[in-house]
Structure 1
Amino acid sequence: MTKQHANWSPYDNNGGTCVAIAGSDYCVIAADTRMSTGYSILSRDYSKSIICKADKAVLSSSGFQADVKALQKVLTSRHMIYQHQHNKQMSCPAMAQLLSNTLYYKRFFPYYAFNVLGGLDEEGKGCVFTYDAVGSYEKVGYSAQGSGSTLIMPFLDNQLKSPSPLLLPAQDSITPLSEAEAVDLVKTVFASATERDIYTGDKLEIMVLKADGARREVMDLRKD
Protein backbone atom coordinates (compact mmCIF):
# COMPACT_ATOMS: atom_id res chain seq x y z
CA MET A 1 0.00 0.00 0.00
CA THR A 2 2.21 2.78 -1.24
CA LYS A 3 1.46 5.80 -3.39
CA GLN A 4 4.73 5.25 -5.28
CA HIS A 5 3.40 2.14 -7.05
CA ALA A 6 3.59 2.65 -10.82
CA ASN A 7 -0.04 1.73 -11.37
CA TRP A 8 -1.42 3.44 -8.28
CA SER A 9 -4.80 5.11 -8.52
CA PRO A 10 -6.74 7.17 -5.94
CA TYR A 11 -9.12 4.26 -5.37
CA ASP A 12 -6.53 1.56 -4.69
CA ASN A 13 -6.69 2.02 -0.93
CA ASN A 14 -10.36 2.72 -0.48
CA GLY A 15 -12.66 2.85 -3.47
CA GLY A 16 -16.26 3.14 -2.50
CA THR A 17 -18.80 5.82 -3.20
CA CYS A 18 -20.25 8.89 -1.47
CA VAL A 19 -23.60 10.54 -2.32
CA ALA A 20 -25.34 13.65 -0.97
CA ILE A 21 -28.79 15.12 -1.68
CA ALA A 22 -30.04 18.49 -0.40
CA GLY A 23 -33.70 19.17 0.34
CA SER A 24 -35.78 22.08 1.57
CA ASP A 25 -35.10 21.37 5.25
CA TYR A 26 -32.76 18.37 5.26
CA CYS A 27 -29.58 16.95 3.78
CA VAL A 28 -28.84 13.27 3.18
CA ILE A 29 -25.20 12.13 3.03
CA ALA A 30 -24.43 8.45 2.42
CA ALA A 31 -21.39 6.28 1.81
CA ASP A 32 -20.63 2.58 1.73
CA THR A 33 -18.31 1.03 4.33
CA ARG A 34 -15.98 -1.08 2.17
CA MET A 35 -12.25 -0.29 2.10
CA SER A 36 -10.34 -2.27 -0.50
CA THR A 37 -7.16 -2.38 -2.52
CA GLY A 38 -7.29 -4.11 -5.88
CA TYR A 39 -9.30 -7.30 -5.41
CA SER A 40 -8.63 -7.47 -1.64
CA ILE A 41 -11.12 -6.18 0.91
CA LEU A 42 -9.28 -4.63 3.86
CA SER A 43 -12.35 -3.68 5.90
CA ARG A 44 -16.09 -4.18 5.56
CA ASP A 45 -17.03 -1.71 8.28
CA TYR A 46 -15.02 1.45 7.58
CA SER A 47 -16.92 4.74 7.84
CA LYS A 48 -16.12 7.29 5.12
CA SER A 49 -18.19 10.07 6.73
CA ILE A 50 -17.40 12.33 9.67
CA ILE A 51 -19.70 14.79 11.40
CA CYS A 52 -17.77 18.05 11.26
CA LYS A 53 -17.68 20.10 14.43
CA ALA A 54 -19.19 22.85 12.32
CA ASP A 55 -22.94 23.26 12.80
CA LYS A 56 -24.97 20.77 10.76
CA ALA A 57 -22.27 19.50 8.40
CA VAL A 58 -21.05 16.05 7.34
CA LEU A 59 -17.95 15.41 5.22
CA SER A 60 -17.80 12.19 3.22
CA SER A 61 -14.58 11.28 1.39
CA SER A 62 -13.32 8.56 -0.93
CA GLY A 63 -9.80 8.09 -2.22
CA PHE A 64 -6.45 7.31 -0.60
CA GLN A 65 -7.25 6.84 3.08
CA ALA A 66 -3.94 8.12 4.47
CA ASP A 67 -4.62 11.42 2.68
CA VAL A 68 -8.26 11.45 3.82
CA LYS A 69 -7.21 11.09 7.46
CA ALA A 70 -4.56 13.79 7.07
CA LEU A 71 -7.13 16.13 5.52
CA GLN A 72 -9.63 15.49 8.32
CA LYS A 73 -6.94 16.20 10.93
CA VAL A 74 -6.09 19.55 9.28
CA LEU A 75 -9.75 20.57 9.05
CA THR A 76 -10.35 19.68 12.70
CA SER A 77 -7.39 21.74 13.91
CA ARG A 78 -8.31 24.75 11.75
CA HIS A 79 -11.90 24.64 12.92
CA MET A 80 -10.71 24.60 16.52
CA ILE A 81 -8.62 27.71 15.84
CA TYR A 82 -11.69 29.35 14.28
CA GLN A 83 -13.73 28.57 17.39
CA HIS A 84 -11.15 30.16 19.68
CA GLN A 85 -10.82 33.25 17.50
CA HIS A 86 -14.54 33.85 16.84
CA ASN A 87 -16.19 32.10 19.80
CA LYS A 88 -18.67 30.25 17.56
CA GLN A 89 -19.00 27.22 15.32
CA MET A 90 -18.44 27.40 11.58
CA SER A 91 -21.47 27.31 9.32
CA CYS A 92 -21.62 24.67 6.61
CA PRO A 93 -20.84 27.21 3.80
CA ALA A 94 -17.86 28.46 5.83
CA MET A 95 -16.60 24.90 6.25
CA ALA A 96 -17.03 24.44 2.50
CA GLN A 97 -14.75 27.41 1.83
CA LEU A 98 -12.21 26.18 4.39
CA LEU A 99 -12.11 22.76 2.72
CA SER A 100 -11.61 24.38 -0.68
CA ASN A 101 -8.74 26.53 0.63
CA THR A 102 -7.13 23.53 2.32
CA LEU A 103 -7.23 21.42 -0.84
CA TYR A 104 -6.00 24.27 -3.06
CA TYR A 105 -3.05 24.96 -0.73
CA LYS A 106 -1.85 21.41 -1.49
CA ARG A 107 -2.56 21.59 -5.23
CA PHE A 108 1.04 20.85 -6.31
CA PHE A 109 1.05 17.62 -4.28
CA PRO A 110 -2.67 17.17 -3.67
CA TYR A 111 -4.56 15.08 -1.20
CA TYR A 112 -5.99 12.15 -3.15
CA ALA A 113 -9.34 12.70 -1.48
CA PHE A 114 -12.59 13.26 -3.35
CA ASN A 115 -15.05 14.98 -1.07
CA VAL A 116 -18.74 15.72 -0.70
CA LEU A 117 -19.76 18.13 2.06
CA GLY A 118 -23.41 18.25 3.01
CA GLY A 119 -25.32 20.16 5.65
CA LEU A 120 -27.70 23.00 6.38
CA ASP A 121 -27.12 26.66 5.51
CA GLU A 122 -27.97 29.72 7.61
CA GLU A 123 -31.62 29.54 6.48
CA GLY A 124 -31.97 25.88 7.47
CA LYS A 125 -32.05 24.68 3.86
CA GLY A 126 -30.04 21.70 2.69
CA CYS A 127 -26.80 22.39 0.83
CA VAL A 128 -24.30 20.12 -0.91
CA PHE A 129 -20.78 21.06 -2.00
CA THR A 130 -18.84 18.83 -4.36
CA TYR A 131 -15.06 18.99 -4.91
CA ASP A 132 -12.23 17.86 -7.12
CA ALA A 133 -8.80 16.93 -5.74
CA VAL A 134 -7.39 20.48 -5.88
CA GLY A 135 -10.22 22.40 -4.22
CA SER A 136 -12.48 23.52 -7.07
CA TYR A 137 -15.99 23.26 -5.70
CA GLU A 138 -19.60 23.97 -6.51
CA LYS A 139 -22.82 24.23 -4.54
CA VAL A 140 -25.27 21.73 -6.03
CA GLY A 141 -28.52 19.99 -5.18
CA TYR A 142 -26.96 16.52 -5.30
CA SER A 143 -23.60 14.92 -5.98
CA ALA A 144 -21.67 11.64 -6.02
CA GLN A 145 -17.95 10.98 -5.62
CA GLY A 146 -15.84 7.84 -5.69
CA SER A 147 -15.45 4.74 -7.79
CA GLY A 148 -19.21 4.31 -8.27
CA SER A 149 -19.97 7.94 -9.09
CA THR A 150 -19.96 7.37 -12.86
CA LEU A 151 -22.74 4.81 -12.38
CA ILE A 152 -24.78 6.91 -9.94
CA MET A 153 -24.62 10.45 -11.36
CA PRO A 154 -26.51 9.68 -14.61
CA PHE A 155 -29.33 8.15 -12.58
CA LEU A 156 -29.46 11.13 -10.20
CA ASP A 157 -29.47 13.50 -13.19
CA ASN A 158 -32.41 11.61 -14.64
CA GLN A 159 -34.37 11.65 -11.37
CA LEU A 160 -33.51 15.11 -10.03
CA LYS A 161 -32.07 17.32 -12.81
CA SER A 162 -30.89 20.30 -10.77
CA PRO A 163 -31.19 23.67 -12.58
CA SER A 164 -28.06 25.09 -14.18
CA PRO A 165 -26.16 27.62 -12.01
CA LEU A 166 -25.90 29.80 -15.14
CA LEU A 167 -29.64 30.51 -15.26
CA LEU A 168 -30.75 34.09 -14.72
CA PRO A 169 -32.37 34.75 -12.38
CA ALA A 170 -30.64 32.05 -10.33
CA GLN A 171 -32.81 29.15 -9.21
CA ASP A 172 -32.52 27.26 -5.95
CA SER A 173 -30.55 24.03 -6.38
CA ILE A 174 -32.33 22.05 -3.67
CA THR A 175 -34.15 18.92 -4.80
CA PRO A 176 -37.96 18.63 -4.70
CA LEU A 177 -37.99 15.26 -2.91
CA SER A 178 -39.23 14.72 0.61
CA GLU A 179 -36.79 13.35 3.18
CA ALA A 180 -38.18 9.81 2.94
CA GLU A 181 -38.06 9.89 -0.87
CA ALA A 182 -34.45 11.11 -0.84
CA VAL A 183 -33.40 8.31 1.54
CA ASP A 184 -35.16 5.72 -0.65
CA LEU A 185 -33.44 7.12 -3.75
CA VAL A 186 -30.03 6.88 -2.06
CA LYS A 187 -30.71 3.25 -1.13
CA THR A 188 -31.75 2.48 -4.71
CA VAL A 189 -28.67 4.01 -6.36
CA PHE A 190 -26.30 2.23 -3.98
CA ALA A 191 -28.03 -1.10 -4.49
CA SER A 192 -27.52 -0.62 -8.23
CA ALA A 193 -23.90 0.56 -7.98
CA THR A 194 -23.00 -2.36 -5.69
CA GLU A 195 -23.99 -4.79 -8.44
CA ARG A 196 -21.51 -3.22 -10.88
CA ASP A 197 -18.61 -1.78 -8.85
CA ILE A 198 -16.35 -4.15 -6.89
CA TYR A 199 -15.11 -1.27 -4.68
CA THR A 200 -18.60 -0.47 -3.37
CA GLY A 201 -20.44 -2.76 -0.99
CA ASP A 202 -20.92 -4.40 2.42
CA LYS A 203 -22.95 -1.70 4.21
CA LEU A 204 -24.48 1.68 3.47
CA GLU A 205 -24.15 4.40 6.13
CA ILE A 206 -26.76 7.16 5.77
CA MET A 207 -26.67 10.45 7.69
CA VAL A 208 -29.78 12.66 7.64
CA LEU A 209 -29.25 16.22 8.90
CA LYS A 210 -32.17 18.39 9.99
CA ALA A 211 -32.54 21.48 12.17
CA ASP A 212 -33.41 19.34 15.19
CA GLY A 213 -30.37 17.07 14.86
CA ALA A 214 -28.74 14.24 12.92
CA ARG A 215 -30.00 10.71 12.34
CA ARG A 216 -27.86 7.72 11.29
CA GLU A 217 -29.15 4.68 9.43
CA VAL A 218 -27.33 1.58 8.20
CA MET A 219 -28.40 -0.76 5.40
CA ASP A 220 -26.73 -3.99 4.24
CA LEU A 221 -25.35 -4.17 0.70
CA ARG A 222 -23.81 -7.04 -1.27
CA LYS A 223 -20.73 -8.50 0.37
CA ASP A 224 -19.10 -10.17 -2.64
Structure 2
Amino acid sequence: MTMLLNHASHGDGIGYSFAQPTAAPVQQHSFYPYTDNGGSTLGITGSDFAILAGDTRSTSGYNINSRMAPKVFKIGGDDETGEGAQIVLSVVGFAADGNALKERLDNIVKMYKYKHGKPMSVSACAQRLSTILYEKRFFPITYTRFWEGKGALYSYDPVGSYEREQCRAAGAASSLITPFLDNQVNFKNQYVPGSGEGHALEPKKAEPLSRSTAEGLVRDAFTSAVERHIEVGDYLQLVTITKDGIEEAFQPLKKD
Protein backbone atom coordinates (compact mmCIF):
# COMPACT_ATOMS: atom_id res chain seq x y z
CA MET A 1 0.00 0.00 0.00
CA THR A 2 1.31 3.41 -0.94
CA MET A 3 1.48 6.20 1.62
CA LEU A 4 0.98 9.74 0.37
CA LEU A 5 2.01 12.81 2.35
CA ASN A 6 -0.69 15.46 2.38
CA HIS A 7 0.97 18.82 2.92
CA ALA A 8 -2.45 20.46 3.17
CA SER A 9 -2.71 18.93 6.63
CA HIS A 10 -5.13 19.55 9.45
CA GLY A 11 -3.80 22.09 11.89
CA ASP A 12 -0.07 22.54 12.08
CA GLY A 13 0.95 18.90 11.91
CA ILE A 14 1.64 16.66 8.95
CA GLY A 15 -1.33 14.75 7.61
CA TYR A 16 -1.09 11.27 6.09
CA SER A 17 -3.31 9.51 3.54
CA PHE A 18 -3.36 5.78 2.78
CA ALA A 19 -5.76 6.07 -0.18
CA GLN A 20 -4.88 4.26 -3.41
CA PRO A 21 -3.64 6.64 -6.15
CA THR A 22 -6.04 7.15 -9.03
CA ALA A 23 -5.00 5.06 -12.07
CA ALA A 24 -4.60 6.87 -15.40
CA PRO A 25 -7.19 5.90 -18.06
CA VAL A 26 -6.04 3.17 -20.39
CA GLN A 27 -5.57 4.34 -23.97
CA GLN A 28 -5.64 1.88 -26.85
CA HIS A 29 -3.93 2.89 -30.06
CA SER A 30 -4.86 1.33 -33.38
CA PHE A 31 -4.12 1.88 -37.06
CA TYR A 32 -6.82 1.40 -39.68
CA PRO A 33 -5.79 2.69 -43.12
CA TYR A 34 -8.95 1.90 -45.08
CA THR A 35 -11.82 4.13 -46.08
CA ASP A 36 -14.90 2.96 -47.93
CA ASN A 37 -15.29 5.39 -50.82
CA GLY A 38 -18.77 4.15 -51.72
CA GLY A 39 -20.16 3.45 -55.16
CA SER A 40 -21.32 0.19 -56.73
CA THR A 41 -20.42 -2.01 -59.67
CA LEU A 42 -22.09 -4.92 -61.40
CA GLY A 43 -21.36 -7.40 -64.14
CA ILE A 44 -23.55 -9.47 -66.48
CA THR A 45 -22.47 -11.97 -69.13
CA GLY A 46 -24.28 -13.27 -72.18
CA SER A 47 -23.48 -15.81 -74.85
CA ASP A 48 -21.20 -13.46 -76.80
CA PHE A 49 -20.67 -10.43 -74.56
CA ALA A 50 -19.85 -9.26 -71.05
CA ILE A 51 -20.97 -6.04 -69.41
CA LEU A 52 -19.28 -4.23 -66.54
CA ALA A 53 -20.82 -1.09 -65.09
CA GLY A 54 -20.37 1.24 -62.17
CA ASP A 55 -21.35 4.66 -60.95
CA THR A 56 -18.81 7.50 -60.78
CA ARG A 57 -19.48 8.93 -57.31
CA SER A 58 -16.67 8.85 -54.74
CA THR A 59 -17.65 9.48 -51.12
CA SER A 60 -16.22 9.61 -47.63
CA GLY A 61 -18.98 9.38 -45.08
CA TYR A 62 -21.55 12.02 -45.98
CA ASN A 63 -19.06 13.97 -48.14
CA ILE A 64 -18.78 13.67 -51.92
CA ASN A 65 -15.11 13.64 -52.92
CA SER A 66 -15.73 13.51 -56.66
CA ARG A 67 -18.64 13.11 -59.06
CA MET A 68 -16.44 11.64 -61.80
CA ALA A 69 -14.39 8.77 -60.37
CA PRO A 70 -14.76 5.82 -62.81
CA LYS A 71 -14.60 2.32 -61.34
CA VAL A 72 -14.18 0.29 -64.55
CA PHE A 73 -10.76 0.18 -66.25
CA LYS A 74 -9.30 -1.32 -69.43
CA ILE A 75 -6.35 -3.59 -68.71
CA GLY A 76 -3.39 -4.23 -71.02
CA GLY A 77 -4.17 -1.56 -73.61
CA ASP A 78 -1.54 -0.01 -75.84
CA ASP A 79 -1.80 3.53 -74.45
CA GLU A 80 -3.64 5.66 -71.92
CA THR A 81 -6.90 5.33 -73.87
CA GLY A 82 -6.80 1.54 -73.44
CA GLU A 83 -6.93 0.78 -77.16
CA GLY A 84 -6.28 -2.90 -77.85
CA ALA A 85 -7.33 -4.06 -74.38
CA GLN A 86 -9.24 -7.33 -74.09
CA ILE A 87 -9.68 -7.45 -70.32
CA VAL A 88 -11.67 -5.07 -68.13
CA LEU A 89 -11.22 -4.63 -64.38
CA SER A 90 -13.83 -3.19 -62.03
CA VAL A 91 -12.95 -2.04 -58.51
CA VAL A 92 -15.16 -0.62 -55.78
CA GLY A 93 -14.67 0.39 -52.18
CA PHE A 94 -11.27 1.72 -51.07
CA ALA A 95 -10.18 3.74 -54.11
CA ALA A 96 -6.44 3.91 -53.31
CA ASP A 97 -6.06 0.12 -53.17
CA GLY A 98 -8.25 -0.24 -56.24
CA ASN A 99 -6.11 2.13 -58.29
CA ALA A 100 -2.90 0.47 -57.11
CA LEU A 101 -4.29 -2.94 -58.05
CA LYS A 102 -5.36 -1.67 -61.47
CA GLU A 103 -1.86 -0.28 -62.19
CA ARG A 104 -0.15 -3.49 -61.07
CA LEU A 105 -2.39 -5.76 -63.11
CA ASP A 106 -2.08 -3.51 -66.16
CA ASN A 107 1.73 -3.75 -65.97
CA ILE A 108 1.60 -7.54 -65.57
CA VAL A 109 -0.61 -8.00 -68.63
CA LYS A 110 1.57 -5.68 -70.74
CA MET A 111 4.78 -7.46 -69.67
CA TYR A 112 3.23 -10.83 -70.50
CA LYS A 113 2.46 -9.66 -74.04
CA TYR A 114 5.96 -8.22 -74.40
CA LYS A 115 7.68 -11.43 -73.22
CA HIS A 116 5.46 -14.01 -74.94
CA GLY A 117 4.35 -12.14 -78.04
CA LYS A 118 0.64 -12.80 -77.42
CA PRO A 119 -2.10 -11.41 -75.14
CA MET A 120 -2.67 -12.98 -71.73
CA SER A 121 -5.84 -15.09 -71.65
CA VAL A 122 -8.69 -14.17 -69.37
CA SER A 123 -8.36 -17.37 -67.33
CA ALA A 124 -4.61 -16.79 -66.85
CA CYS A 125 -5.24 -13.20 -65.76
CA ALA A 126 -7.92 -14.39 -63.34
CA GLN A 127 -5.44 -16.76 -61.71
CA ARG A 128 -2.78 -14.04 -61.54
CA LEU A 129 -5.21 -11.74 -59.76
CA SER A 130 -5.90 -14.44 -57.22
CA THR A 131 -2.16 -14.75 -56.54
CA ILE A 132 -1.78 -10.98 -56.09
CA LEU A 133 -4.54 -10.88 -53.51
CA TYR A 134 -3.29 -13.95 -51.66
CA GLU A 135 0.12 -12.28 -51.30
CA LYS A 136 -1.63 -9.43 -49.45
CA ARG A 137 -3.76 -11.64 -47.22
CA PHE A 138 -2.15 -10.40 -43.96
CA PHE A 139 -2.75 -6.77 -44.96
CA PRO A 140 -5.52 -7.35 -47.44
CA ILE A 141 -6.78 -5.20 -50.26
CA THR A 142 -10.18 -4.75 -48.70
CA TYR A 143 -13.39 -3.28 -50.03
CA THR A 144 -12.43 -4.26 -53.56
CA ARG A 145 -14.28 -6.44 -56.02
CA PHE A 146 -13.29 -6.92 -59.59
CA TRP A 147 -14.33 -8.63 -62.72
CA GLU A 148 -12.68 -9.43 -66.01
CA GLY A 149 -14.65 -9.92 -69.12
CA LYS A 150 -14.20 -11.41 -72.55
CA GLY A 151 -17.37 -13.47 -72.48
CA ALA A 152 -16.39 -14.42 -68.90
CA LEU A 153 -17.09 -12.83 -65.53
CA TYR A 154 -15.05 -13.47 -62.37
CA SER A 155 -15.71 -12.22 -58.84
CA TYR A 156 -13.16 -12.15 -56.00
CA ASP A 157 -12.94 -11.79 -52.25
CA PRO A 158 -10.15 -9.75 -50.58
CA VAL A 159 -7.80 -12.74 -50.12
CA GLY A 160 -7.96 -14.13 -53.65
CA SER A 161 -10.75 -16.70 -53.76
CA TYR A 162 -12.63 -16.34 -57.03
CA GLU A 163 -15.32 -17.94 -59.13
CA ARG A 164 -16.85 -17.52 -62.55
CA GLU A 165 -20.43 -16.24 -62.49
CA GLN A 166 -23.19 -15.06 -64.81
CA CYS A 167 -23.87 -11.89 -62.83
CA ARG A 168 -22.60 -10.18 -59.71
CA ALA A 169 -23.05 -6.89 -57.86
CA ALA A 170 -20.69 -5.33 -55.31
CA GLY A 171 -20.28 -2.15 -53.37
CA ALA A 172 -22.53 0.10 -51.36
CA ALA A 173 -25.78 -0.81 -53.13
CA SER A 174 -25.04 -4.51 -53.72
CA SER A 175 -27.79 -5.55 -51.28
CA LEU A 176 -30.28 -3.59 -53.40
CA ILE A 177 -29.05 -4.74 -56.83
CA THR A 178 -28.35 -8.42 -56.12
CA PRO A 179 -31.98 -9.51 -55.58
CA PHE A 180 -32.92 -7.74 -58.82
CA LEU A 181 -30.19 -9.62 -60.74
CA ASP A 182 -31.16 -12.93 -59.13
CA ASN A 183 -34.69 -12.52 -60.43
CA GLN A 184 -34.06 -10.95 -63.82
CA VAL A 185 -30.80 -12.66 -64.86
CA ASN A 186 -30.79 -15.97 -62.94
CA PHE A 187 -34.61 -16.29 -63.16
CA LYS A 188 -34.95 -17.14 -59.47
CA ASN A 189 -38.58 -17.17 -58.23
CA GLN A 190 -39.92 -16.91 -61.77
CA TYR A 191 -42.57 -19.42 -62.82
CA VAL A 192 -44.48 -20.31 -65.99
CA PRO A 193 -47.93 -18.65 -65.75
CA GLY A 194 -50.79 -21.15 -65.48
CA SER A 195 -48.47 -24.14 -65.00
CA GLY A 196 -49.98 -25.07 -61.64
CA GLU A 197 -50.87 -23.80 -58.21
CA GLY A 198 -48.75 -23.17 -55.13
CA HIS A 199 -45.61 -25.31 -55.05
CA ALA A 200 -46.71 -27.10 -58.22
CA LEU A 201 -45.79 -24.10 -60.39
CA GLU A 202 -43.17 -24.91 -63.02
CA PRO A 203 -39.99 -22.81 -62.68
CA LYS A 204 -39.17 -20.68 -65.69
CA LYS A 205 -36.07 -21.93 -67.51
CA ALA A 206 -33.18 -19.51 -67.68
CA GLU A 207 -32.30 -18.35 -71.17
CA PRO A 208 -29.31 -16.36 -72.44
CA LEU A 209 -29.99 -12.64 -72.39
CA SER A 210 -29.53 -10.46 -75.44
CA ARG A 211 -27.11 -7.56 -75.20
CA SER A 212 -29.88 -4.95 -75.38
CA THR A 213 -31.82 -6.68 -72.59
CA ALA A 214 -28.75 -6.91 -70.35
CA GLU A 215 -27.85 -3.26 -70.90
CA GLY A 216 -31.43 -2.30 -70.04
CA LEU A 217 -31.23 -4.28 -66.80
CA VAL A 218 -28.01 -2.48 -65.87
CA ARG A 219 -29.64 0.92 -66.37
CA ASP A 220 -32.71 -0.13 -64.39
CA ALA A 221 -30.57 -1.47 -61.53
CA PHE A 222 -28.62 1.76 -61.10
CA THR A 223 -31.67 3.98 -61.64
CA SER A 224 -33.30 2.15 -58.74
CA ALA A 225 -30.17 2.10 -56.54
CA VAL A 226 -29.59 5.87 -56.68
CA GLU A 227 -33.10 6.42 -55.31
CA ARG A 228 -32.25 4.49 -52.15
CA HIS A 229 -28.52 4.94 -51.51
CA ILE A 230 -26.66 8.22 -50.97
CA GLU A 231 -23.25 6.74 -51.91
CA VAL A 232 -24.32 5.91 -55.47
CA GLY A 233 -25.03 8.43 -58.20
CA ASP A 234 -23.88 11.13 -60.64
CA TYR A 235 -23.06 9.05 -63.76
CA LEU A 236 -23.31 5.45 -64.97
CA GLN A 237 -20.20 4.05 -66.65
CA LEU A 238 -21.29 1.22 -68.96
CA VAL A 239 -18.58 -0.93 -70.56
CA THR A 240 -19.54 -3.70 -73.00
CA ILE A 241 -16.97 -6.29 -74.17
CA THR A 242 -17.54 -8.28 -77.38
CA LYS A 243 -15.35 -10.06 -79.92
CA ASP A 244 -15.16 -6.76 -81.81
CA GLY A 245 -13.69 -4.84 -78.89
CA ILE A 246 -14.68 -2.72 -75.91
CA GLU A 247 -17.36 -0.04 -75.99
CA GLU A 248 -17.69 2.53 -73.22
CA ALA A 249 -20.50 4.99 -72.53
CA PHE A 250 -21.47 7.39 -69.73
CA GLN A 251 -25.06 8.22 -68.84
CA PRO A 252 -26.33 10.68 -66.20
CA LEU A 253 -27.80 9.51 -62.90
CA LYS A 254 -29.31 11.45 -60.01
CA LYS A 255 -26.86 13.91 -58.45
CA ASP A 256 -28.58 14.56 -55.12
With the shorter chain as reference, the TM-score category is 0.7 to 0.9
> Does residue 49 of structure 1 match 2:69?
no
| Alignment match, 2:153 | 128
Contact persistence 1:18–1:145 (CA under 8 A): yes
Contact persistence 2:75–2:102 (CA under 8 A): no
**C-alpha separation in 2, matches of 1:175 and 1:39:** 41
Contact persistence 1:22–1:175 (CA under 8 A): no
SS in 2 for 1:47: coil
Distance change >3 Å, CA 72–CA 118, structure 1 → 2: closer
| Alignment match, 2:57 | 34
SS in 1 for 2:91: strand
Match of 1:144 among 148, 151, 169: 169
Aligned AA (1:188)? D
**C-alpha separation in 2, matches of 1:78 and 1:116:** 16
Tell me how far 1:162 sits from its aligned partner: 7.3
Q: How does 1:1-224 map to 2 (within 5 A)?
A: 4=31, 10-11=35-36, 14-53=37-76, 55-120=85-150, 126-161=151-186, 176-224=208-256
Contact persistence 1:204–1:219 (CA under 8 A): yes
Aligned AA (1:59)? L
SS in 2 for 1:194: helix
Aligned AA (1:30)? A
Contact persistence 1:32–1:202 (CA under 8 A): yes
Name which of structure 1's ranges 89-98 and 110-119 shifts more when overlaid on structure 2: 110-119
Distance change >3 Å, CA 162–CA 143, structure 1 → 2: farther
SS in 2 for 1:25: coil
TM-score, normalising length from structure 1? 0.84
Q: Among the aligned pairs, what percent are the same residue?
A: 41
Larger Rg: 1 or 2?
2
SS in 1 for 2:148: strand
Point out which structure has higher relative CO (alpha carbons under 8 A, 6+ apart).
Answer: 1
Contact persistence 1:116–1:144 (CA under 8 A): no
**C-alpha separation in 1, matches of 2:229 and 2:254:** 11
RMSD over aligned Cα, in angstroms?
A: 2.0
Tell me how far 1:115 sits from its aligned partner: 2.0
More strand by share: 1
Number of residue-to-residue matches in the alignment: 203
Contact persistence 2:87–2:122 (CA under 8 A): yes
TM-score, normalising length from structure 2? 0.74
Give unmatched runs, 5+ long, in structure 2.
1-29, 78-84, 189-205
**C-alpha separation in 1, matches of 2:115 and 2:66:** 39
**C-alpha separation in 2, matches of 1:72 and 1:128:** 17
Deviation string 1:58-85 (CA, Å, 9 cap, x unpaired) is: 1110011111111112212222332233
